[in-house]
Structure 1
Amino acid sequence: MAFDFAAPDAAGQEAALRFARNLRARRLTLGWTQEQAALEAHMNTSYWNRIERGRIVPGLRVAARMATVLGVTLSELVADEHERSAPYGPDLVDLVRRLRAVADTVASTDATLTDLLTDVEGVGQTDAGGRASPSKRSL
């Protein structure tokens, strides 16, 4: 039986490349070679290599197994740079993104909403000395 898969759209291609970049970055963080990672994931090294270079996109089961072997979640492997580097995680990043969109839609100069967004974005961040940044006001 033959399957006819449509080529991925631009968003799908971007997600696949993000997955490949994050996969490689995580593997290198662990200090593993592709051969070591592939062995841990019970897969062929050349298959791992093609996935990591973005030549092929793995199915969900394989992608989940790769994430597990690397000690991360699947969502971490498809997250963009900002979401991965945020100390408070992708959920809060998404919330701030949505609040910003609402604020932009309203096109209000209401300083209260802007200050609230600034406070939320500052949660969990540290200064140069490693101390947590205080909130401008109590939420």
Structure 2
Amino acid sequence: MNSIESIGENIRILRLKNGFSQEQLALCAGVNTSYIGQIERGEKNPTIKILEQISAALEITLVDLLTLYDLQTKKSTPKGTLPLPNPYSPGTYSTNSDSLH
């Protein structure tokens, strides 16, 4: 999946999560309904201005729109990266209190 398709998938996931139809999102974002569908399918390459309008309609930041939304963890993760382990979780790192002084 290329970046245009990923952005379209993110829009579709967030639209459905918010309970919007394509028509409702298009109306809120000030774009044509068919254009939303084309973006979601990765057929169109939207401008930053259009992505800003869509992100505002979804009530998220443009950065959040451009990151991969993981429905399983309910967290945004940049595409191509893995979540890092929590360094504060027990057993993740061993610490020696003497080395801190």
* TM-score past 0.5 threshold: yes
Deviation sequence 1:1-40 (CA, Å, 0-9, x none): xxxxxxxxxxxx7111110000000000011100000000
> Residue 122 in 1 paired to residue 86 in 2?
yes
| 2:55 corresponds to which of 52, 67, 75 | 67
Q: Could you tell me which residue of structure 1 aligns to residue 5 of structure 2?
A: 17
Per the TM alignment, residue 134 of structure 1 is displaced from its structure 2 partner at its CA by 3.5
CA RMSD, Structure 1 to Structure 2 (Å): 3.2
Q: Residue 30 of structure 2 is aligned with which of 25, 31, 42?
A: 42
Pick 1 or 2: higher relative contact order, CA cutoff 8 A, min separation 6: 2
Closer, same or farther: CA 47–81 of 1 in aligned 2, 3 Å: closer
Name the structure where helix makes up a greater proportion of residues. Answer: 1
Q: 1:35, 1:45 within 8 Å by CA — same for their partners in 2?
A: yes
When normalised by structure 2's length, the TM-score is 0.70
Contact 1:27 1:37 survives alignment (8 Å): yes
| Structure with larger Rg | 1
Compute the displacement of 1:61 (Å).
0.5
Counterpart CA distance in 2 for 1:76 and 1:64 is 11
Structure 1 49/90 Cα, relative in aligned 2: closer, same or farther at 3 Å? closer
Q: Over residues 37-82 of structure 1, what are the superposed CA-to-partner deviations in whole Å (9 max), with x where a residue is unaligned?
A: 0000111111111111111010001111101110122222222356
Gaps of 5+ in 2: 96-101
TM-score, length-scaled by structure 1: 0.53
Number of equivalences: 91
Structure 1: which 5+ residue stretches go unaligned? 1-12, 98-119, 124-132
Report if aligned partners of 2:68, 2:77 keep a CA contact under 8 Å in 1: no
